[in-house]
Amino acid sequence: MAETAAGVGRFKANYVVERKIEPFYKGGKAQLDQTGQHLFCVCGTRVNILEVASGAVLQSLEQEDQEDITAFDLSPDDEVLVTASRALLLAQWAWREGSVTRLWKAIHTAPVATMTFDPTSTLLATGGCDGAVRVWDIVRHYGTHHFRGSPGVVHLVAFHPDPTRLLLFSSAADAAIRMWSLQDRSCLAVLTAHYSAVTSLAFSADGHTMLSSGRDKICIIWDLQSHQATRTVPVFESVETAVLLPEEPASELGVKSPGLHFLTAGDQGTLRVWEAASGQCVYTQARPPGPGRELTHCTLARTAGLLLSATADHNLLLYEARSLRLQKQFAGYSEEVLDVRFLGPEDSHIIVASNSPCLKVFELQTSACQILHGHTDIVLALDVFRKGWLFASCAKDQSVRIWRMNKAGQVVCVAQGSGHTHSVGTICCSRLKESFLVTGSQDCTVKLWPLPRALLSKNTAPDSGPVLLQAQTTQRCHDKDINSVAVAPNDKLLATGSQDRMAKLWALPQCQLLGVFSGHRRGLWCVQFSPMDQVLATASADGTIKLWALQDFSCLKTFEGHDASVLKVAFVSRGTQLLSSGSDGLVKLWTIKNNECVRTLDAHDDKVWGLHCSRLDDRALTGASDSRVILWKDVTEAEQAEEQARQEEQVVRQQELDNLLHEKRYLRALGLAISLDRPHTVLTVIQAIRRDPEACEKLEATVLRLRRDQKEALLRFCVTWNTNSRNCHEAQAVLGVLLRHEAPEELLAYEGVRAAVEALLPYTERHFQRLSRTLQAATFLDFLWHNMKLPVLATAPTPWETHKGTLS
């Protein structure tokens, strides 16, 4: 209670970005280093390097041309990374330092589509969209081979694992595999058996067998000595990658007999293990529901014993290679973030609903990600129950689901319900107890779903499957889509906001209409009850936020400031302030009492659909169409404490400065004034020095004993003083000292000296012109004074002389 009472009357003034969850992988190649500690992946113009343990982006490498990266590869010894850009430039990186060690032209006439290192990490092969294959010596920095003859784009190149055989394989648009000899500089063989694009090549440990996969739904085993296909294995899916497994038993993967076994990843979204000799599938991974699960890439880090796969919706999944047990999940790209929520009793996790049927749960402390499958279409909205363990989601698949997080942070679906006839676009959980939830849909109805007792009992078995939800009340509320629903803090009232420009108030649980809030000029995107007062806030596409009284449904206040639709609104500071987010990408903080916009937070580039505040009211969470999720921290108290400490320090320093001036300790006084970075205070010190009887000597002695950085600051201050005729004498005196005693080379080395001289010259000329005019006038007066001949004045007779004349 004491903490709550302390928060009363305290307004927030500012938030700062504490953390960002941004896209780091937008499809294409992903690669692990040999230790399995780092993950390399492409995101537009950058190659991002992630630390696998924490999920943090360690380096984000971008070439100087700032063009999209079309291909990259890490050498087998993990030392060299090479990237190719759309500008036809190749860059060699010391990736741990994030620096380019060499940049050269690819010589291809079209962008490089693929590249690979040889086993010795000395040769690099590049395949281009111009149909050429080139080989580069990375150590000696020159091109060694140029192979022509492939029709169309060369999208696949691979070196033979035995470096002594000097063989290179490539595949292009004609679905043939070409075998090139680096020794003879010729094509040894063209292997034709695929009918569609070849997607991957893998080699056996002895180097005599090659496995190829293709989008023609077959994998082919090749004998490299006879250049013939020895077996064709139909895999019944378009395969993106096939990986040869180590020739050792792995009972969990169905590998029980010796011989070649390979793993395939393709458009069915599951990893499958095949026996090459029999062509039988010996292991199939369980496939999660929902679209976007197609696998687009797969790679094996043999030394680390890890397998990495990438899905069509840009998730990266890391498995233990021997058992295919899921180790880590990374959400590479969230596309358009539609809603965000804090999760857990202490807001330890966040949930993100993006343009996908999957939900993503991030643990804030470790960045661990969990991807939740269940919905079969895009999830549109989220809400969390009071205790923080249960949360609800609704989606375009017309269903609602309830999820539970356990103390270990694992989330499972515990209930699901359906009944709406259109997309369910908004959801709200009960506030007092975990007793019900309310959904609003594009079918213009609201449904109230009571939570089954089985769901709330702690004895429910986790493996029993989701409980079925049944709607208790259904009410047609509006004539257009319902965009927002909100439950009052006492669980007795429901507010709905619709595209029909109205908000309505309903009594729960029967959904009886109590009143209508009308006044917005466009559709409503959000409604929210005040946690303290009988007030409702509404956010509209007309760019305004309105506050309404629940007693008489009148409009109390209107907040204008967003240039576009206001999408979300939330009460903060115990109902005395508002946070709002808009389609202009801005988040605004408002004080209700005076209608003032206290702060505008600009960190998003697109519509901010998601906005949520933490339980302690010290953090906020936003998610936007720019696929960024941003965690904001309230820094009001910290800034106020900092400002107070700064003011106290200023008072102490000012007193110290006054004491130093009184004691005529000019050097200390000048150094202190410069450290305060206050030009006027420094000017006061200079003026005090110049009032001294021995001003010239004192000024010289003081200025010359300053450090170089202090002299640079003094020169900057002189520029300011020199603009004013009252202070120009002090500026010129300091300049005179510097010009007389500092060598020109030293002056030129000063930071910002050129700009200072350019600023000083015009004002100095003006001051000298004024002085010249004053000197001319003074000289003229002096001349007149010395050359003036005053006439001798006749002296008047004295009274005595006058009296003497009268007597005579």
pLDDT digits (tens, 9 = 90+) for 90-126: 999 999 999 999 999 999 999 999 999 999 999 999 9
Do both 595 and 690 map to the same domain? no
Give the residue from 504, 497, 548, 488 showing the smallest Cα distance to 523. Answer: 497
Residue 803: inside a domain, yes or no? no
Do both 226 and 207 map to the same domain? yes
Do both 311 and 355 map to the same domain? no
Phi, psi of 763 (to 5 degrees): -70, -40
State how many domains the chain has: 3
Tell me the percentage of the chain whose pLDDT exceeds 70. 94
Give CA–CA dist 530/546, Å, rounded.
Answer: 12
Comparison of pLDDT for 264 and 698, the residue scoring more: 264
pLDDT of residue 7: 40
Do both 374 and 302 map to the same domain? no
Give CA–CA dist 239/200, Å, rounded.
Answer: 9
Provide the pLDDT confidence category of residue 257 given band limits of 50, 70 and 90: confident
Do both 671 and 629 map to the same domain? no
Task: Point out the domain boundary residue: 333, 361, 376.
Answer: 333
The tokens describing 665, both together, are 């300790």
The tokens describing 263, both together, are 């793993």
Total-model pTM:
0.78
Provide the pLDDT confidence category of residue 154 given band limits of 50, 70 and 90: very high
- What is the residue type of 257? S
Give the residue from 124, 129, 126 showing the smallest Cα distance to 151. Answer: 129
Give the residue from 415, 271, 336, 402 showing the smallest Cα distance to 624. Answer: 336
Residue 328: inside a domain, yes or no? yes
Provide the pLDDT confidence category of residue 38 given band limits of 50, 70 and 90: very high
Task: Point out the domain boundary residue: 333, 362, 387.
Answer: 333
Is 416:466 a contact under the CB 8 Å cutoff?
A: yes
Do both 617 and 484 map to the same domain? yes
Is 391:402 a contact under the CB 8 Å cutoff?
A: yes
pLDDT of residue 9: 44
Residue 626: inside a domain, yes or no? yes
pLDDT of residue 808: 43
In DSSP terms, 319 is beta-bridged to 307, 326
In the block, tokens 């292997």 appear at 191
Phi, psi of 347 (to 5 degrees): 55, 45
In DSSP terms, 124 is beta-bridged to 117, 136
Provide the pLDDT confidence category of residue 705 given band limits of 50, 70 and 90: confident
Give CA–CA dist 386/368, Å, rounded.
Answer: 24
Q: Which of 404-413, 492-501, 697-706 has the lowest mean pLDDT?
A: 697-706
Q: Mean per-residue pLDDT for 722-746?
A: 82
Q: Mean per-residue pLDDT for 261-287?
A: 91
Provide the pLDDT confidence category of residue 703 given band limits of 50, 70 and 90: confident
CATH code at position 240: 2.130.10.10
The tokens describing 286, both together, are 């369980």
Provide the pLDDT confidence category of residue 3 given band limits of 50, 70 and 90: very low
Is 96:74 a contact under the CB 8 Å cutoff?
A: no
Name every residue whose Cβ is closer than 8 Å to that of residue 226 and which is 6 or more positions away in sequence.
none
Give CA–CA dist 68/171, Å, rounded.
Answer: 23
Q: Mean per-residue pLDDT for 345-369?
A: 91
Give the residue from 101, 79, 98 showing the smallest Cα distance to 90. Answer: 101
Give CA–CA dist 244/212, Å, rounded.
Answer: 10
Name every residue whose Cβ is closer than 8 Å to that of residue 510 and which is 6 or more positions away in sequence.
473
pLDDT tens-digit profile of 644-689?
A: 888 888 788 778 777 877 777 767 777 777 777 777 778 888 778 7
Comparison of pLDDT for 338 and 334, the residue scoring more: 338
Is 647:660 a contact under the CB 8 Å cutoff?
A: no
Residue 61: inside a domain, yes or no? no
Residue 805: inside a domain, yes or no? no
Q: Which of 321-335, 478-492, 577-591 has the lowest mean pLDDT?
A: 321-335
Average pLDDT value for the chain: 88
Do both 494 and 515 map to the same domain? yes
Do both 361 and 219 map to the same domain? no
Is 387:415 a contact under the CB 8 Å cutoff?
A: no
Q: What is the DSSP letter of 451?
A: P
For 319, the domain range is: 200-333
Sign of CA dihedral 649, 651, 655, 661: positive
The tokens describing 480, both together, are 């257009």
Residue 710: inside a domain, yes or no? yes
Give CA–CA dist 247/98, Å, rounded.
Answer: 37
Q: Mean per-residue pLDDT for 438-463?
A: 82
The tokens describing 115, both together, are 């590249």
On the question of pLDDT at 701 being above 80, the answer is no
Taking only Cα atoms into account, the Rg of the chain, rounded to an integer number of angstroms, comes to: 39
On the question of pLDDT at 806 being above 50, the answer is no
Q: Mean per-residue pLDDT for 604-627?
A: 94
pLDDT of residue 5: 35
Is 21:364 a contact under the CB 8 Å cutoff?
A: no
Rounded to 5°, angle at Cα 630 from 288 and 370 = 20
In DSSP terms, 424 is beta-bridged to 441
Do both 284 and 421 map to the same domain? no
Give the residue from 609, 534, 615, 547 showing the smallest Cα distance to 577. Answer: 547
Do both 514 and 538 map to the same domain? yes
Buried b (16+ CB within 10 A) or exposed e, 319-342: bebbebeeebbbbbbbbbbbbbbb
Residue 178: inside a domain, yes or no? no
Residue 752: inside a domain, yes or no? yes
Q: State the virtual CA torsion across 714, 716, 718, 720 in degrees, nearest 10.
A: -140
pLDDT of residue 189: 94
Q: Mean per-residue pLDDT for 585-591?
A: 95
Do both 491 and 527 map to the same domain? yes
Do both 614 and 694 map to the same domain? no
Q: Where are the alpha helices (DSSP H) in 471-572?
A: none
Give CA–CA dist 448/441, Å, rounded.
Answer: 12
3-state secondary structure of 714: helix
Task: Point out the domain boundary residue: 300, 333, 366.
Answer: 333
Phi, psi of 806 (to 5 degrees): -70, -35
